[in-house]
Amino acid sequence: MADDLDSLLPKTSESTSLSTLKSLKNALEELAGKSDSNIEGLVEALDDLITLMEKTGVKDLRDLIEEFKDLKQEKKRLEELLQEYFKRLEELERKLKAQEEKLRIEARRRKTLEKELEMERDEKAELREELRRKEVMIEKLRNDLQRLKKPPLIVGTVEEVLDDGRVIVKSSTGPKFVSNVSPTVDKDKIEPGANVALNQQSMAVVDVLPSEKDPRVTAMEVEEDPDVTYDDIGGLDKQIQEIREVVEKPLKEPELFEKVGVEPPKGVLLYGPPGTGKTLLARAVAHHADATFIRLAAPELVQKFIGEGARLVRELFELAREKAPSIIFIDEIDAIGARRMRDATSGDREVQRTLTQLLAEMDGFDPLDDIKVIAATNRKDILDPALLRPGRFDRHIKIPLPDEEGRYEIFKIHTRDMNLADDVDLRKLAKMTEGASGADIKAICTEAGMMAIREDRDVVTMRDFVKAVERVLGQREEEGEYKRAYH
């Protein structure tokens, strides 16, 4: 447009100056006022051109056109620069996106590597722990192998400890040796009678062995805390009071006997008909005295070979000392404690050796030791007088058949957990069972419950008890003979 305008302008500068343009504008305005021709548009255009020249300070129209040309070129240059900038900006954006994607991929790869590294660390720790366990196992196997390669040791018994620290040992092969004691052995455990292990070559004491106990002794019925109380025993209040005085009090309050200046009884003999509660009474006193209850039947001490029974008795009392305070209950004491005769057979003499060992053990421990001996028998009349003298079985407690009140108490004890009908009369049952023992009454209660179960009932009636009494007591011999045997 500027080129077209330049071709239309006059060729002289006077005709294109600002003053000339103003004069031309005035002439056109006068002409527009005199003539009807429409030249107002031309006047307005000319006025705008003059205003532009005044604002820009250009004095000649050609100079303005030149500036327009320069501005056009500058605009074109700027547009080219702007396009180049946008191209570079787009390129940078593409590079930035590519870099961001690369960083995201690198971050994911880094996380994967961290997880793999953590897994490798855990696996390494597991392998290290497994290696440690294997090393411990190998070391244990190596030690076991070394022990297996060592020659076996000889078992011996210490007979005497000399002043210089050596010991006189009798080996299991027979001869005696004066042996040195290994520094690894506890000197306090070396005492006469101790079992020791001897080196085959030097015969030195290398270890102290535990005391030998017959398996029959360790397998005896041992109750650390019996669950029987005095409330479980009926009709024996006097006997309970007596046994508490001679067994429970010495175990729980020994200082009381020391203050008074008397020795408590060493042993208690319970005698009476079978089934009257002798064992139950012994277990109850062990429970209340917080003592270990060791129970055995005297026939178990009768052995075939010479000295076996005496050894069992000796080891029995060793076990009682280890578990003290303890109560040894020997049932059927008449099996080994019967009166000794002159014309005894070899078997009788072995029983007498066992009895002699029992008497020696009872004489050997202090009355205030935490060991009490309770024996039970149905035949006190055949016992050897050596057992019954004071200093051994000092107190003899008779456990008779219960009377009517005692039978009633026993019925109450054995039926307290039973579901009884309203017609059950325990007083009447106590009268019906005259001559029955506590074991008989327990059997009657059990049989009555079985009769109710047999008829698919959950309640025990009086009729069940009557039938149970007839069945249990009817199986015994005649009542008169039964009473004569124990009264």
User: CATH number, domain at 227?
Assistant: 3.40.50.300
Task: Evaluate whether residue 187 is within a structural domain.
Answer: yes
For a pLDDT cut of 90, what percent of the chain falls above it? 11
Residues 3 and 141 in one domain: yes
Task: Evaluate whether residue 48 is within a structural domain.
Answer: no
Q: Which domain holds residue 312?
A: 216-398
pLDDT band at 9 (very low <50, low <70, confident <90, very high): very low
The answer on pLDDT for 95 being more than 50 is yes
- Residues ≥6 apart with Cβ < 8 Å to 438: 234, 235, 275, 276, 277, 280, 402, 410
The answer on pLDDT for 100 being more than 70 is yes
Residues 173 and 112 in one domain: no
Task: Evaluate whether residue 226 is within a structural domain.
Answer: yes
Structure token digits, residue 330: 């020997």
Q: How far is CA 287 from the centre of its chain?
A: 26
Strands 205-208 and 195-198: antiparallel
- Residues ≥6 apart with Cβ < 8 Å to 320: 292, 294, 326, 328, 371
Look at residue 9 and give its three-state secondary structure.
coil
Strands 221-223 and 292-297: antiparallel
Count of domains observed in the chain:
4
The answer on pLDDT for 264 being more than 60 is yes
C-alpha to C-alpha distance for 100 and 96, rounded to whole angstroms:
6
Residues 144 and 276 in one domain: no
Task: Evaluate whether residue 363 is within a structural domain.
Answer: yes
Q: What value does the mean pLDDT of the chain take?
A: 79
Angle of helix 40-56 relative to helix 61-149, nearest 10 degrees, comes to: 60
Looking at residue 338, its pLDDT comes to 77
334 and 340 Cβ atoms separated by less than 8 Å: no
C-alpha to C-alpha distance for 406 and 431, rounded to whole angstroms:
11
* Rounded average pLDDT over 190-204: 83
155 and 195 Cβ atoms separated by less than 8 Å: yes
Residues 5 and 143 in one domain: yes
C-alpha to C-alpha distance for 252 and 233, rounded to whole angstroms:
21
pLDDT (tens digit per residue) in 343-376: 556 556 777 777 777 787 777 655 546 788 888 8
Domain end: 162, 192, 208, which one? Answer: 208
Q: How far is CA 351 from the centre of its chain?
A: 47
Structure token digits, residue 361: 């053990």
Residues 301 and 330 in one domain: yes
Domain end: 398, 425, 450, which one? Answer: 398
* Rounded average pLDDT over 425-442: 87
pLDDT band at 225 (very low <50, low <70, confident <90, very high): low
Instruction: State the distance between the two ends of the chain, measured CA to CA, in whole angstroms.
Output: 158
Residues 362 and 256 in one domain: yes
> In which order are the strands placed within the sheet that holds 167-171?
176-179, 167-171, 154-161, 195-198, 205-208
Residues 244 and 388 in one domain: yes
- Residues ≥6 apart with Cβ < 8 Å to 334: 298, 377, 378, 379, 382, 383
C-alpha to C-alpha distance for 179 and 233, rounded to whole angstroms:
58
Residues 163 and 98 in one domain: no
Looking at residue 483, its pLDDT comes to 47
The answer on pLDDT for 218 being more than 70 is no
pLDDT band at 475 (very low <50, low <70, confident <90, very high): low
Residues 123 and 165 in one domain: no
- CATH number, domain of 177, equals 2.40.50.140
HSE-up of 51 (CA within 13 Å, CB side)? 6
Task: Evaluate whether residue 324 is within a structural domain.
Answer: yes
Residues 143 and 173 in one domain: no
Task: Evaluate whether residue 83 is within a structural domain.
Answer: yes
Residue the block writes with tokens 């593409």: 94
Residues 252 and 336 in one domain: yes
pLDDT (tens digit per residue) in 200-217: 888 888 888 876 655 555
Looking at residue 339, its pLDDT comes to 78
Task: Evaluate whether residue 37 is within a structural domain.
Answer: no
468 and 444 Cβ atoms separated by less than 8 Å: yes
* Rounded average pLDDT over 323-349: 75
Task: Evaluate whether residue 228 is within a structural domain.
Answer: yes
pLDDT (tens digit per residue) in 415-432: 888 888 888 888 888 888
411 and 365 Cβ atoms separated by less than 8 Å: no
Residues 267 and 334 in one domain: yes
* Rounded average pLDDT over 467-473: 87
411 and 426 Cβ atoms separated by less than 8 Å: yes
Looking at residue 484, its pLDDT comes to 46
